[in-house]
Every structure is written in structure tokens, then in C-alpha cells.
Structure 1
């Protein structure tokens, strides 16, 4: 399934460090940041206080996460209005994910209320904070989003909620995935698919269903999703292993278990998976069919948006203090803690 890399088997003693794959040099796409970053950051803080109703010290944690910075990196051409919607969605995604993963809220109730808010953000009435956040950003989303783009966002969100519910249920049952089933689930738990609809939203395009359902376009989306999920798993591994996360909830220990590799071998293998995802993306972009001049122009914008997501998300991870990546890429393993915490 993936290219061959040189690796070793699991050693008798625990390692004290590992070297990250050279993800930046493997990802050759140009990186740009949105020029509206500062204004969007200020607006995001206000949104976290006024709509998400966060206070200290909780709000400080989400400000430090810098979900706004992720939107700035992944949607470099969005105007201020559209960027703010993307920033608010990113903030909501981090908050909702933490609430559902921690068991503070019932995932089925979050799913039902948020999808109802997406269906009718103006008239749907709720006292649930998670749904109020959805009403806030999605009412603005619908001001300019086309019907196809809107339906794709809602469908992708349905997949995300269903996948998170399955993961939490499987965790409670101590179900252990194999590598193939983990990959399939991770493509939805990452919450990346709804973000692709925001590419259309910020560009004010609404691609035909025949384009969005085409196998080559789907392959481009899958390659992008895989790259984002795998580099997230690679860069969050150290914190997750320290916080006591289940080993079957990150691609690195999954590779170690299934392929019998040591930590460095698994890191190298996961890095090759990221590289292969980029190669898949480039190969499929080269065989894109034509749907006519105007549609092809819009498809090119969408494909460039997927490219921005790969390099933008990667650069955001590398620049974020949350992941603490040193220039030499040598990561000292954090000591394991006797309790679980967020990733």
C-alpha cells in the first residue's frame, strides 16, 4: 500500500528520543498566510468570549491553540468576512472535539443539535452552547455559500460526528483497530472533510456534483486528508504518548504494533505515508479531466485550496507551541503521566 522504507524492529528498551521525518522538504507547495490575520485573531478572541462563552483559564487554552492561525494558513486568499467564518468554525471544531472526546457531552445530542443548526441556522432555536456556536458561524456561511457547497459541508459534518461517536464507543469497549480500519476511521475523525467545503465558500464557487463526485477529485481529496491526518499524528505523538492516549488512536503506534517496527522505524514509515500522499495528489492532478473552461477555472481554484490545506496545516503544526518542534527535528520523549489529557 505504501512505499518501502528502511526500518528496524521493536527494541528491548524504550527509546528516549526520535527524529521527526523531514515533512517540510517533502511538501513542496508554496506557503502563504492570509493578510487579515491580526484582525481575524482579535475577532476570534471576541467570538470565544461572546459566543463560545469561554472564560479564564479555559479561554487561554483555546487562544494558545490558535485555531485562527490554522485558518489563516489554510485559506490565504479569503477576505476578512470569509476568513472569520473559517476561524470560528476551526475554534468550534477544537471545542466540540474536546467536549465529545472527554465525555462531557452526549455525542448524539451534539450531533443532532448541530446538524439542525446547520440545516436552519436562522430559525433553529436551542439553549445548547455547541449548537449556538454552529448557528453563529453557519448563518454567516449561508450568506454566500452555494447549495452544493452547503450540502457537502453538512454531509461531511455528519461523517465527522458518526466517526467520533464510533471512536468513543470503541474506546469504552476497549476495541483495538488494525491499521486498515484505523486509517478508514481517521479520515473522518480528523474533521478535515468539512474544511474542504470552506475552500468553495471562501472562493465563492459552487462546483457541480458531477465534478465533486468524480473519482479523480475524490482521490485528490483523500490524498489531502491523509497528509493532514498523518502529519498531525506524527507531530502530536509525543504529547499523546505522554498523556496516556490509547495506542490505537495514532498512526505511529498503530504502525509499530502492526508492522513490528521500533519508534524511529514507525516515524520514518509514517513520514513516507505523508510523502506518498503528496505523490498521489500530484499524480491525480495530472490526469484531471476537463469540464469546460469556466468549470475548469473553478476546479483549479479548488485543487489549489486542497494544496493550501496540506502545506498550511503542516506549517501551522510546526509553528504552533503546542507541538514544540525544534529545528533539528530531534524530539525528546516526554515522561508518561498517570492521567489522560487533551491532544
Structure 2
């Protein structure tokens, strides 16, 4: 990216998406309890605690799981907050350290009697107990497997960051599906709705078409929305915007425009496949695919309701579509943030 490029226009994904957004009536109570639960472990520096609170992870759950009951919504808030902990820790680690962090998470999630005494293990085991109360056996196994795949990809992301290596589009897409944790979060839809889908459902071609189109839509749209925040923190390698600019030699604006067109195609693919889900798979398969659509629209809406990606200008960015790139932040030894600008 040229140093002279200091702004770009986002693709207008919101107006192009016909899916209906919703919010949970249980949001405020569930969010407060989940946030208090995480904060009770006092694991964040002041800077990270502020970033955690401002990010409003629980509000995302309110949108994407708007159909959840109170207990189920609280559990999803706990999980998204747990992922925030894993992600924030691993972002500052090398490959070996990130894999070790991920293994703690996986072991605590998969094995009820495993414990290394760490805070991460304790938090994970507490979430696991809540999740197991309502999840079916197929869902539990699928969720555990997805957790393992997710952590492996987070470790790989750290290794790529160490080498300053950016993947090509073909390799990045399956990698991003997993290290974004979107597929993992999709599994929570089964938990919320009380489903227990068989593996054969996930192997169906039309089901896969809708499933991966929804996942890629969330990943690609999230990457273009989060690009400024990530570049300001020096973490741009794990983003489809960077991948496209690097592989195709295109500008930031051209990458943003391409993502907009590609997301339109993914949306059409999802909607078309959703109509063609075979009745032979059972009504639960169609119910699941319909519900993951809430992630597609909910993530878009949430991105403009929080300061996580666009800072205090989030409502202005929603109105204009223009993102002004922030300078890269610097962190002193105390963990306090400063910017390249003095004012």
C-alpha cells in the first residue's frame, strides 16, 4: 500500500443484504454477567481491558444469535469473550507460544479432568460445563473438533506473522474459515436450537454450498471492515484485503471494491443454496442454514454499532462509507498506547 493512501471507501454491503437483522431481548443481562465473569479473572492490562469493553463482543452475540434463549445467549457471550482472550494472547506470541496457548484451550475444552492450573484452563472449563448442559453428542464432538482446528490455524497465523509471510488467495480462504472461528461459532447455532445434526448433513453438497458461502461472506466482509484497525496495530497479514493487494498487485480501493462484488456473489450463492436444501436431510438442516444467515447480516450491523473497527467515527463511516486510515500505534513498556502523531 502506498504511504500516500490514507483513505478508502467501503463496499456498501448493508444496503445490498436482504436478510433481516434482529437483537436479543436478553442482551443487557447476559452481556453484563458474561463481562463480569471474564473481568473477575483480572487477565487484561488496562489497555486490553478498554479494548475488550469497547469491542462489545456480547452485542455481536445479540445480533447473530438473536433467536437464543437467555441461558443459550449467556453461553454464546461467554464463548465469544473466551475467544477474545485466546486471540488477544496469541496475537502477541510467536508460533510456538501461540500453539501452546491453543493447546491449553483445546485440552480444557475436550477433557473434563484436564487442568494445568492456568487461568485460561479455568475459564475454558467453566464455559465447557455450561455448554455441555444443553448440547447434543454430535454437536459436542463437532464443537471440540472445530476448537482443535481453530487453534491449529491460530498457531499457523502466528508462524506466518513471524516470517512476515502473506498467503495467496487459494490457501488463505480455507485458512481464514478456520482461524476466524466463524465455523466454530456456527456450531453454537446447533447448541442454541437444540439440534444434533449428523455428519451426513454436513457432507451434503448443497448444505456445504450454503454453509461455506455464509462463512466466507462473514470472513471477507469482516476483513474489509477491520482492515483499518488491524493496520493501525501492525497486524495486516491475516486479512483478505492484504492478500488481494499482495497477490494481484491492486490498490486498497480496488481490493475493497473486489470484496464488495465477491460478497454479493456469496450472498446470492447462499440464498440460492438455502432454497435447494433437500428435505431428505430433515427440517433441522434447513433450520440451521437459515439461522447462520443471522451471522451474515448481524455482523454487518454490529460492526457499525461498536467502536471496535471504526473508532468514535463509526456512525459517520456507516453514513459515508469512507474510512480514514489511522497511524500505526506504538506501545510503551507499560502497555500504554501512543500513536505516530503527537496530537
Task: Give the TM-score normalised by the residue count of structure 1.
Answer: 0.88
Any conservation in 2 of the 1:142–1:150 contact (CA below 8 Å)? yes
Name the structure 2 match of 1:116. Answer: 107
Instruction: Describe the shift of the 1:316–1:17 C-alpha distance in structure 2 as closer, same or farther (beyond 3 A).
Output: same
Any conservation in 2 of the 1:51–1:132 contact (CA below 8 Å)? no
Instruction: Describe the shift of the 1:291–1:174 C-alpha distance in structure 2 as closer, same or farther (beyond 3 A).
Output: same
Any conservation in 1 of the 2:51–2:308 contact (CA below 8 Å)? no
- The correspondence for 2:176, drawn from 186, 196, 200, is 186
Deviations 1:15-62 (A, max 9, x none): 332111101012210000011011012102211123565575543321
Any conservation in 2 of the 1:234–1:267 contact (CA below 8 Å)? yes
Q: Report the 3-state secondary structure (helix = DSSP H, G, I; strand = E; otherwise coil) of the residue aligned with 1:311.
A: helix
Q: Report the 3-state secondary structure (helix = DSSP H, G, I; strand = E; otherwise coil) of the residue aligned with 1:14.
A: coil
- The correspondence for 2:244, drawn from 233, 252, 255, is 255
Q: How many residues align?
A: 326
Alignment of 1:258-297 (within 5 A): 258-291=247-280, 295-296=282-283
Separation of aligned partners in 1, 2:326 and 2:204: 44
Separation of aligned partners in 2, 1:257 and 1:168: 19
Q: Report the 3-state secondary structure (helix = DSSP H, G, I; strand = E; otherwise coil) of the residue aligned with 2:280.
A: coil
Q: Report the 3-state secondary structure (helix = DSSP H, G, I; strand = E; otherwise coil) of the residue aligned with 1:136.
A: helix
- The correspondence for 1:46, drawn from 36, 50, 67, is 36
Which is further off, 87-96 or 233-242?
A: 233-242
How much has 1:120 moved relative to structure 2? 3.1
Q: Report the 3-state secondary structure (helix = DSSP H, G, I; strand = E; otherwise coil) of the residue aligned with 2:39.
A: helix
Alignment of 1:143-162 (within 5 A): 143-162=133-152
How much has 1:201 moved relative to structure 2? 0.4
How much has 1:337 moved relative to structure 2? 4.4
Task: Give the TM-score normalised by the residue count of structure 2.
Answer: 0.88
Unaligned runs of 5+ in 1: 1-9
Name the structure 1 match of 2:296. Answer: 310
Deviations 1:210-251 (A, max 9, x none): 1122122222221111111111110111122233224x3211
Instruction: Describe the shift of the 1:113–1:339 C-alpha distance in structure 2 as closer, same or farther (beyond 3 A).
Output: closer
Q: Report the 3-state secondary structure (helix = DSSP H, G, I; strand = E; otherwise coil) of the residue aligned with 2:8.
A: strand
How much has 1:333 moved relative to structure 2? 2.1
CA RMSD of aligned residues (A): 2.2
Alignment of 1:166-181 (within 5 A): 166-181=156-171
Separation of aligned partners in 1, 2:40 and 2:280: 44
Unaligned runs of 5+ in 2: 338-343
Separation of aligned partners in 2, 1:138 and 1:193: 18
Q: Report the 3-state secondary structure (helix = DSSP H, G, I; strand = E; otherwise coil) of the residue aligned with 2:279.
A: coil
Separation of aligned partners in 2, 1:338 and 1:91: 25
Name the structure 1 match of 2:194. Answer: 204
Separation of aligned partners in 2, 1:254 and 1:56: 32
Instruction: Describe the shift of the 1:311–1:127 C-alpha distance in structure 2 as closer, same or farther (beyond 3 A).
Output: same
